């Protein structure tokens, strides 16, 4: 800690003493949560029964989190600043809970936890305790939009929160462990997408406490000049605070925060009065303080403070080891609790006065409970964007292109609260109509040849799925709306972020004080069946499987087969709350099947019989089911072949938009009652199900259904390369000819004509493959199929 950080004196001695006391109070409460079952104010010597049997929590990062929190409180009071706190090292849960308690918010939200000794006892006991609260910062923590369990997303969440919140400063603590992750490393560049005019500010605070669980950190061991070079290269002006002597660090940190908030105000003032067009260099803070600061210096002869050994619970055997227990008591008493709390256990008034009031408290700031601020989208009538379908399956449209016109007007009407995210794919995904009303956010240099770039665009494009997802999460969690459009295969890049967001939603739905937020909407396109130009690396429909593993109350998956159903589904998703909605839809020209009225009815039901494509009027001989645009196309083409070639066969065609309808009712809120399922899929007839993704998903959703034994699913079986669209379906046995063969193989007693047809189908496959290999494109008769084109041949 020998950095040259000359200390500017901004705090009086009294102010140092007060802020230090506040910090000690937060540290005391943090240690108390990790260790104590009882005796919260140390009214008596610490006995084994006062100590938790299992010590679960993380001390190492906590004093740093508490230090920053105390100093931000000062800034908020002095400037009436609007600040939220994003905790990168979110395993420092005790610190954030302690601060929410010190500010009084905790007792307001959880009325059982009062501001007295009994409240302290409960506060301590509940932490990491069965039936209590998690060890990490979580949805349960007032003031948080961020669970730090899986590291890497603090900074991207912070930027998402700052967008379109011009008054807000998002203070974001980045741990030096977390800073090693890919998503965090990419997040620094978010400053190229932050507009000082209409967005708020992010103040990154890189906390270099030097160690992770078991290792030093990469950034803490860079020569300081190299670190500064890195951060300047990321586009920031670092202000360094370093030390291990509290009074000195208090002065430094107060001065650094003053400087940073002055710089932010100055940048915003200049930008907002139009003085500066260039991307500003935003301030940030580098804070070097010891890991586990103020905790035990050493334990059993080994250094703990300032090392990785303070990461979790520095004194492990406090229940049974009297020496450890004594050291714990000494540690706790080092904070001088009697100076901090009165005899009732209430924080002393002069300390309480250091916290901001009301909604300015970071733990009570409504931006951190974004549903409170959520305003409905002003949505145009999606029916106005319908494509004309006078006869089903005769004209083609690019479904996402049609959706683009709707999204264009969604953006136009909601410029303050809706953003469209995409990893450099929005135009590729055919949503370009949005550029008729807006542009892509771009704060860097713009050249004459560039198109659709602007500082205040509503579309956010960067070649990082992590950033798209993280920005959107931060934006939604602070009460706004959005949609993430992504190549289907590459959404797997954010599998784990989706997991964490879904978990957050599951938890927050159970907390009455958390107001519902807008759903996280995915539009997955450029999907597995139409990545024939990019090949195998771009072909993976497995995200749906991942999504289906999360709790049914938060996940929804839609596979609209055409343009009008896509519009209907999108409108529904944009209105919904607290879900993750996955919409899978094609971008290539594809047949339209339903006029808008039919589309609305179909999407509302989630699945249904397409009578116009069926030959069965009553009970069918076979059911052709389909979900997804390409499987629907192949199923209809197969249905047409059967209608023509085996007219006596009663075929029912079912299309499924909402695949959660396939699950039994008790498993998912959308689950179809068994009786209705049986009425649709029959109790005993063969069902040939053409599915967009891996076939197992359909089995897993339906294995309890009466007719599951006769369900035969075709889907993607990981066979793909750069080839033609029809070759792709043939490679996976999902093509119309194979579906007809499947029907013939599974319906009993069809006779010779069917056997001949089966052979013709096998021949047709060979011919189609041959044609493709020879001409490099699909047979136009196959590629250009429309409903009835077979009859017209």
Tell me which residues in 30-69 interact with a second copy (CB under 8 A). 37, 52-54, 56
Strands across the sheet containing 236-242: 82-87, 168-175, 201-208, 282-288, 236-242
Consecutive H or E run containing 129? none
User: Going by C-beta distance under 8 Å and a sequence separation of 6 or more, which residues neighbour residue 245?
Assistant: none
Closest to a second copy by CB, 122 vs 708, is: 708
User: Going by C-beta distance under 8 Å and a sequence separation of 6 or more, which residues neighbour residue 651?
Assistant: 614, 615, 616, 620, 621, 622, 623, 624, 639, 642, 643, 743
Closest to a second copy by CB, 290 vs 356, is: 290
12 vs 739: CA distance, rounded Å: 81
Closest to a second copy by CB, 39 vs 598, is: 39
Closest to a second copy by CB, 381 vs 436, is: 436
Consecutive H or E run containing 476? helix 465-477
Report residue 534 CA to chain centroid gap: 27
Least distance from C-beta 105 to a second copy, angstroms?
21
Q: Which of positions 599-618 make contact with a second copy (CB under 8 A)?
A: none
Closest to a second copy by CB, 350 vs 718, is: 718
Least distance from C-beta 474 to a second copy, angstroms?
16
Beta bridge partners of 286: 206, 240
395 vs 668: CA distance, rounded Å: 36
Consecutive H or E run containing 631? helix 629-645
Closest to a second copy by CB, 120 vs 386, is: 120
Least distance from C-beta 499 to a second copy, angstroms?
6
178 touching a second copy, by CB under 8 A: yes
Q: Among residues 45, 112, 322, 535, which is the contact residue for a second copy, using CB under 8 A? A: 535
Q: Among residues 394, 576, 721, 789, which is the contact residue for a second copy, using CB under 8 A? A: 721
Q: What is the DSSP letter of 760?
A: H
782 touching a second copy, by CB under 8 A: no
573 touching a second copy, by CB under 8 A: no
128 touching a second copy, by CB under 8 A: yes
Q: Among residues 8, 272, 375, 551, which is the contact residue for a second copy, using CB under 8 A? A: 551
Q: Among residues 78, 338, 359, 537, which is the contact residue for a second copy, using CB under 8 A? A: 537
- At 431 the three-state DSSP class reads coil
Binding mask 494-523 for a second copy (x = CB under 8 A): -xx--xx--x--xx----------------
298, exposed or middle or buried, with CB in 10 Å at 0-12, 13-18, 19+?
middle
Least distance from C-beta 540 to a second copy, angstroms?
6
Q: Among residues 368, 387, 493, 596, which is the contact residue for a second copy, using CB under 8 A? A: 493
Closest to a second copy by CB, 78 vs 229, is: 229
User: What does DSSP say about strands 651-656 and 607-609: parallel, antiparallel, or unpaired?
Assistant: antiparallel
Q: Is the dihedral of CA 283, 289, 295, 300 positive or negative?
A: positive
Select from 166-174, 474-482, 572-580, 773-781 the region that touches a second copy (CB under 8 A): 773-781
221 touching a second copy, by CB under 8 A: yes
* Dihedrals phi, psi of 347, to nearest 5 degrees: -55, 135
User: Going by C-beta distance under 8 Å and a sequence separation of 6 or more, which residues neighbour residue 262?
Assistant: none
781 touching a second copy, by CB under 8 A: no
User: What does DSSP say about strands 396-398 and 589-591: parallel, antiparallel, or unpaired?
Assistant: antiparallel
Cβ-contact 716, 692 below 8 angstroms: yes
Q: Which of positions 334-373 make contact with a second copy (CB under 8 A)?
A: none
Least distance from C-beta 762 to a second copy, angstroms?
19
User: What does DSSP say about strands 622-627 and 687-691: parallel, antiparallel, or unpaired?
Assistant: parallel
516 vs 172: CA distance, rounded Å: 24
Q: Which of positions 189-208 make contact with a second copy (CB under 8 A)?
A: 189, 192
Q: Which of positions 723-742 make contact with a second copy (CB under 8 A)?
A: 723-724, 727
Nearest to 283, CA basis, from 240, 243, 242, 249: 240
Q: Among residues 227, 434, 472, 557, which is the contact residue for a second copy, using CB under 8 A? A: 227
Q: Among residues 9, 316, 773, 784, which is the contact residue for a second copy, using CB under 8 A? A: 773
370 vs 19: CA distance, rounded Å: 30
Select from 106-114, 185-193, 283-291, 396-404 the region that touches a second copy (CB under 8 A): 185-193
Would you tell me how many other CB atoms lie within 10 Å of the CB of residue 308?
20
589 touching a second copy, by CB under 8 A: no
- The secondary structure of 480-521 as a DSSP string is -EEEEEEETGGGGGGHHHHHHHHHHHHHHHT-TTSPP-B-EE
Q: Among residues 47, 197, 323, 536, which is the contact residue for a second copy, using CB under 8 A? A: 536
Nearest to 126, CA basis, from 34, 26, 25, 31: 34
Residues in the chain: 793
Q: Among residues 83, 172, 389, 467, which is the contact residue for a second copy, using CB under 8 A? A: 467
408 touching a second copy, by CB under 8 A: no
Give the alpha-carbon dihedral of 592, 595, 596, 598, to 10 degrees: -110
Select from 11-19, 101-109, 179-187, 602-610 the region that touches a second copy (CB under 8 A): 179-187
- Locus of tokens 């993750």: 580
Q: Among residues 103, 329, 409, 425, which is the contact residue for a second copy, using CB under 8 A? A: 425
Would you tell me how many other CB atoms lie within 10 Å of the CB of residue 316?
13
Closest to a second copy by CB, 63 vs 134, is: 134
Q: Which of positions 688-717 make contact with a second copy (CB under 8 A)?
A: 694, 696, 699-700, 703, 708
Q: Among residues 1, 47, 229, 781, which is the contact residue for a second copy, using CB under 8 A? A: 229
Select from 166-174, 244-252, 533-541, 746-754 the region that touches a second copy (CB under 8 A): 533-541
Least distance from C-beta 566 to a second copy, angstroms?
22
Least distance from C-beta 303 to a second copy, angstroms?
5
Q: Which of positions 59-118 make contact with a second copy (CB under 8 A)?
A: 91
Closest to a second copy by CB, 184 vs 600, is: 184
What is the Rg, in whole angstroms, of the alpha carbon atoms belonging to the chain? 30
115 vs 125: CA distance, rounded Å: 15
- The secondary structure of 255-292 as a DSSP string is HHHHHHHHHHHHHHHHHHTT---SPP-EEEEEEE--TT
User: What does DSSP say about strands 418-422 and 459-461: parallel, antiparallel, or unpaired?
Assistant: parallel
Closest to a second copy by CB, 545 vs 595, is: 545
Closest to a second copy by CB, 349 vs 447, is: 447
Binding mask 640-679 for a second copy (x = CB under 8 A): ----------------------------------------
Select from 188-196, 516-524, 585-593, 626-634 the region that touches a second copy (CB under 8 A): 188-196
222 touching a second copy, by CB under 8 A: yes
439 touching a second copy, by CB under 8 A: no
Nearest to 433, CA basis, from 406, 456, 415: 406
213 touching a second copy, by CB under 8 A: yes
Structure tokens of 554? 């938060």
Q: Which of positions 263-322 make contact with a second copy (CB under 8 A)?
A: 303, 306-307
Ranges of beta strands (E only) in 50-184 are: 82-87, 168-175
Closest to a second copy by CB, 131 vs 749, is: 131
- The secondary structure of 647-661 as a DSSP string is TTS-EEEEEESBGGG
Q: Among residues 12, 14, 130, 301, which is the contact residue for a second copy, using CB under 8 A? A: 130
Q: Among residues 45, 48, 112, 182, which is the contact residue for a second copy, using CB under 8 A? A: 182
Closest to a second copy by CB, 221 vs 333, is: 221
Closest to a second copy by CB, 291 vs 652, is: 291
């Amino acid at each position: 800690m020998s950095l040259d950080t000359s200390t500017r004196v901004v705090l009086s001695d009294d102010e140092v003493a007060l802020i230090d006391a506040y910090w000690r109070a937060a540290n005391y409460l943090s240690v108390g949560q990790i260790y104590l079952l009882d005796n919260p104010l140390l009214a008596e010597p610490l006995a084994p029964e006062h100590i938790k049997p299992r010590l679960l929590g993380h001390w190492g990062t906590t004093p740093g989190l508490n230090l920053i929190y105390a100093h931000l409180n000062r800034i908020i009071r002095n400037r009436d600043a609007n600040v939220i706190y994003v905790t990168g090292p979110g395993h420092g849960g005790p610190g954030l809970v302690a601060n929410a308690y010190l500010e009084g918010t905790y007792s307001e939200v959880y009325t059982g936890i009062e501001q007295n000794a009994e409240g302290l006892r409960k506060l301590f006991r509940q932490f990491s305790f069965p039936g209590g609260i998690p060890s990490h910062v979580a949805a349960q923590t007032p003031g948080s939009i961020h669970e730090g369990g899986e590291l890497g997303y603090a900074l991207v969440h912070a930027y998402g929160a700052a967008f379109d919140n011009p008054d807000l400063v998002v203070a974001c603590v980045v741990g030096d462990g977390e800073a090693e992750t890919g998503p965090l490393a990419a997040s620094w560049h978010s400053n190229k997408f932050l507009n000082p005019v209409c967005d708020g500010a992010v103040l990154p605070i890189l906390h270099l406490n030097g160690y992770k669980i078991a290792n030093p950190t990469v950034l803490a061991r860079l020569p300081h000049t190299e670190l500064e070079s890195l951060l300047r290269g990321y586009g920031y002006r670092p202000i360094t605070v370093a030390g291990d002597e509290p009074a000195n660090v208090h002065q430094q940190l107060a001065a650094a925060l003053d400087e940073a908030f002055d710089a932010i105000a100055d940048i915003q003032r200049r930008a907002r009065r139009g003085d500066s067009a260039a991307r500003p260099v935003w301030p940030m803070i580098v804070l070097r303080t010891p890991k586990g600061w103020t905790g035990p210096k050493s334990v059993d002869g080994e250094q703990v403070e300032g090392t990785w050994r303070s990461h979790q619970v520095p004194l492990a055997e406090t229940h049974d080891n009297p020496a450890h227990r004594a050291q714990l008591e000494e540690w706790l008493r080092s904070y001088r609790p009697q100076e901090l709390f009165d005899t009732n256990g209430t924080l002393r008034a002069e300390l309480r006065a250091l916290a901001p009031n009301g909604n300015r408290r970071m733990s009570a700031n409504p931006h951190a409970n974004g549903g409170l601020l959520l305003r409905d989208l002003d949505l145009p009538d999606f029916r106005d964007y319908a494509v004309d379908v006078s006869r089903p399956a005769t004209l083609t449209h690019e479904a996402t292109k049609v959706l683009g016109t709707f999204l264009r007007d969604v953006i136009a009407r909601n410029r303050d609260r809706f953003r469209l995210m995409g990893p450099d794919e929005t135009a590729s995904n055919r949503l370009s109509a949005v550029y008729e009303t807006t542009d892509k956010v771009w704060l860097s240099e713009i050249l004459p040849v560039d198109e659709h770039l602007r500082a205040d665009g509503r579309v956010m494009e960067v070649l990082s799925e992590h950033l798209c997802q993280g920005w959107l999460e931060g934006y939604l969690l602070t009460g706004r709306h959005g949609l993430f459009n992504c190549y289907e295969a590459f959404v797997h890049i954010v599998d784990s972020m989706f997991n964490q967001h879904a978990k957050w939603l599951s938890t927050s739905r159970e907390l009455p004080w958390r107001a519902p937020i807008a759903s996280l909407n995915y539009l997955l396109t450029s999907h597995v069946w139409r990545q024939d130009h990019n090949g195998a690396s771009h072909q993976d429909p497995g995200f749906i499987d991942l999504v289906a593993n999360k709790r049914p109350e938060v996940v929804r998956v839609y596979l609209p087969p055409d343009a009008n159903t896509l519009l209907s589904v999108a409108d529904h998703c944009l209105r919904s709350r607290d879900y993750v909605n996955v919409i899978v839809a094609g971008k290539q020209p594809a047949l339209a099947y339903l006029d808008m009225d039919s589309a609305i009815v179909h999407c509302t039901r989630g699945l249904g019989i397409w009578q116009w494509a069926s030959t069965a009027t009553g009970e069918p001989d076979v059911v052709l089911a389909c979900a997804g645009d390409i499987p629907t196309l192949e199923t209809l083409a197969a249905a047409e072949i059967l209608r023509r070639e085996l007219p006596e066969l009663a075929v029912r065609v079912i299309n499924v938009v909402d695949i959660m309808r396939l699950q039994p009712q008790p498993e998912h809120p959308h689950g179809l009652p068994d009786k209705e399922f049986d009425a649709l899929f029959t109790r005993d007839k063969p069902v040939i199900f053409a599915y967009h993704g891996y076939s197992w998903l359909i089995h897993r959703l339906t294995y309890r259904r009466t007719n599951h034994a006769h369900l035969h699913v075709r889907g993607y079986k990981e066979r793909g390369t750069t080839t033609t669209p029809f070759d792709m379906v043939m490679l996976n046995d999902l093509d119309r000819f194979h579906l007809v063969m499947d029907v013939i193989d599974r319906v009993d007693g069809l006779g010779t004509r069917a056997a001949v047809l089966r052979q013709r189908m096998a021949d047709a496959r060979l011919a189609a493959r041959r044609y493709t290999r020879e001409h490099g494109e699909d047979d136009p008769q196959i590629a250009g199929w429309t409903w009835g084109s077979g009859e017209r041949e």
